[in-house]
Amino acid sequence: MLKNLDFFKEKLIEEKNRIEMELRKIASQDAEGDYKTEFEDYGREREDNASEVENYTASLGITESLETELEKIVLALKKIENGSYGKCEKCKKDIPIKRLEIYPAAQNCVECQ
């Protein structure tokens, strides 16, 4: 069992807040809590339309990536609450502290990753 769960909880909450802030810049949150990438309207010209699609496509990938990371963080916070934080989901061994310090939302040890 990890001794300093408060340290990891604080790091996870800070990262969760940062990701949510980034998501709010490029997406809106629906009633279920999912983020939908915004499609900005730049105008009716062909160049404007191309820019709209290009920016939407880039934002879509970023939104998906941030949402995936946010899900991992929320899961890690739940694990802290239920006492299973720091255990590899595959082999069930303790995830080394050094790995958790670098990536607090880690779900697996390095060997199983």
Q: What is the pLDDT of residue 4?
A: 86
Q: What is the pLDDT of residue 46?
A: 65
Report if residue 102 sits inside a domain.
no
If pLDDT is split at 50, 70 and 90, which confidence band does 89 have? very high
- Whether 2 has a pLDDT exceeding 70, the answer reads no
Range of the domain at 23: 5-82
Report if residue 70 sits inside a domain.
yes
Domain count, the chain: 1
pLDDT digits (tens, 9 = 90+) for 16-52: 999 999 998 888 777 667 777 765 655 566 665 566 6
pLDDT digits (tens, 9 = 90+) for 60-80: 888 899 999 999 999 999 999
Alpha-helical (H) ranges within 1-113 are 5-26, 46-82, 97-102
Report if residue 95 sits inside a domain.
no
Please, what is the average pLDDT of the chain?
86
